[in-house]
Amino acid sequence: MIAARIFPFLALFLLRGVCVTQVLSESLWTVARAMRSLGRKAEAAPQFAKAFRLLSKNDWLMAEEPKRLERLRTLAGNALETD
């Protein structure tokens, strides 16, 4: 399971004082990209949607990385409406 490999790694970031929301959203994005690369697009879309919802609240990302957020929105697709 992908999450079992990622969460211990995330603990290191949290111990260093990195924003929990940032770590969580980046983790969701990473898991979603892994699922998508394995051909599991339907399972990946809700993860992209969750990551988009968290990251779109970040003012810096909204200003500096609009293309990245738009890509996330596209990958989330209908999951943004149903999740």
Task: Determine the Cα–Cα distance for residues 67 and 80; give it in Å rounded to an integer.
Answer: 17
Distance CA 82, CA 75 (A): 14
Q: Which domain holds residue 73?
A: 2-82
The rounded distance, in Å, linking the Cα atoms of 15 and 32 is 24
**Residue 7 φ/ψ, nearest 5 degrees:** -60, -40
Mean pLDDT for each 10-residue chunk of the chain (83 residues)?
Answer: 54 58 76 90 90 84 87 89 65
Question: What is the Cβ-side half-sphere exposure of residue 61, based on CA atoms within 13 angstroms?
Answer: 18
Number of domains in the chain: 1
Which pLDDT belongs to residue 10? 59
Structure confidence at residue 73 (pLDDT): 92
